[in-house]
């Protein structure tokens, strides 16, 4: 799990550096950060043997918005 967190931080930092050099818009940077964090949560849930049910999570998010 420590290796997963370390790799996530490294790839996230490299992604931010690349996006800064390419002068991406703020929305693209935020989209990258949100999608990366969602991917990390999904992989972490798989590693700790308690897989996250994405359908339930997405339905909960939609229900909380409306």
The number of beta carbons lying within 10 Å of the beta carbon of residue 54 is 11
Directed axis angle between helix 26-47 and helix 2-21, to 10°? 170
Q: Please write the tens of the pLDDT for every residue from 17-35.
A: 999 999 989 899 999 998 9
| pLDDT for the residue 12 | 92
Domain positions in the chain: 2-65
Cβ atoms within 10 A of the Cβ of 8, count?
16
pLDDT of 1 > 80? The answer is no
The residue behind tokens 């940077």 is 29
Which DSSP state fits 23?
A: T
pTM strictly above 0.85: no
pLDDT band at 2 (very low <50, low <70, confident <90, very high): confident
pLDDT of 36-61, one tens digit each? 998 888 888 888 887 778 788 888 88
């Amino acid at each position: 799990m420590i290796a997963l967190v370390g790799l996530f931080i490294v790839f996230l930092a490299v992604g931010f550096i690349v996006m800064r050099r390419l002068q991406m818009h703020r929305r693209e940077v935020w989209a990258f950060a949100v999608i990366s964090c969602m991917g990390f949560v999904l992989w972490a849930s798989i590693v700790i043997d308690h897989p996250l049910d994405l359908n339930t999570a997405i339905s909960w998010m939609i229900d909380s918005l409306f």
